Amino acid sequence: MQLTFHTRDGRELPLPLFFPDATRAVVKGVDSVDVATTGTPGVLVNTYHLWRMIPAEQMTALRGVATFMHWDGATISDSGGFQVMSLVKKMGGKVTDDGVYFKPENSPTLLLTPEESIQYQLALGTDLCVVLDDFTPPEATYEQAEETVTRTILWATRSKLAFDEVCQKLQIPKEKRPYLIAPVQGGFYPDLRRRCARELARIGFDGFGWGGWPVKPDGTFDEESGKIMAEEAPAGYLLYGLGIGKPSDIVAAYRLGWTIFDCVIPTRDARHNRLYFWTGEGLKYTTKNAAHAPETSCDCYTCTHYDWAYVNHLFTIGDTLSYRLASIHNLRFYAQLMEKLRVLG
């Protein structure tokens, strides 16, 4: 298992790491200083949404997304692959071997290709890039899942070529290049997961991403898929649990070898008054709303400056300060979860 994550500016971050989602270059409800005070080492930004809003030339002129959002930590960019599922396969659009045709409301059709995704992520200047993949729907038949695997491998090949070409054109030395991660698709079909992983390993990347849903139809964590992908990962590969954010799922994935995680859960839950608290030794935790928050020794900004009765009052009157204070607390909980995993394993 790889022990550290290196940033392009030379920092070494101990694994595991959790990156909250800063989808459009902001973690909802908090600013970059708030995020940093929680001990959160990095954030994830969304390639598709930023690509739609800020052209690559402008992002380059802004000196990348970290400078743009005044963030001094690590950054990860996804590929737009999740939007293949959330915005195309569910809401219209088209996926072909060429790329993904998005149909935004009141906008012309947009084509995101594997090459365009890579070029934009390099303009973002992130520490880790993800190649565009064809998201396997959780209800996919074997034939549908097989098609997503075939297309994911095709796009991964094109993405790797584009990555090498752009890095050479920009004269980025190997030690300054971001990690390049390839998501493994195949749904809940073990042979397809294994096939996809092996073909991606032959192409050559810095790690695997957990492609598709990490949760089975019955709501339980898909441990079998996680184990297969970890088994097929070459030595030294990073294993990135894309979208894995439930604390118990993070723990289960970490014990299989997965060490990088991102999700909207801590901040989304915070905005809905769902708060995380440790209940004792080890990794035991509970969730409460602000009205029933337990006494806590949490060292976050919220817990050291406010009573939970006040935070509950803010939720009651609908003041958005409640979102900020609750989000700070939940992000600190997730940073502590990573700290505990490093110690407890």
- Choose among 78, 69, 25, 10: nearest CA to 241: 78
Contact 225, 188 (CB under 8 A): yes
DSSP letter (8 states) at residue 16: P
CA dist., res. 249 & res. 255, Å (int): 10
Pairing of strands 100-102, 94-95: antiparallel
Residue recorded with tokens 């930004």 = 45
Joined together, the tokens standing for residue 50 give 């930023």
Q: Under DSSP, is residue 247 helix (H, G, I), strand (E, B) or coil?
A: helix
Burial of 299 (0-12, 13-18, 19+ CB in 10 A): exposed
Q: Among all residues, which ones are annotated catalytic?
A: 78, 262
Which long-range contacts does 9-15 make (Cβ < 8 Å, 24+ apart)? 11/74, 13/41, 13/42, 13/74, 14/342, 15/259, 15/260, 15/342
Task: Scan for tokens 């402008």, then name that residue.
Answer: 58
The two tokens of residue 34 are 């708030």
**Distances from the Cα of 183 to the Cαs of 206, 278, 320, 329, in angstroms?**
11, 32, 36, 31
Q: Which of 10, 2, 131, 139 is nearest to 77 (CA)?
A: 131
Helices (H), the chain: 32-37, 47-53, 56-61, 65-68, 81-83, 114-124, 142-169, 190-203, 223-232, 247-254, 265-271, 301-305, 308-317, 321-344
**DSSP of 276-296:** EEE-SSTT-EEEE-GGGPPP-
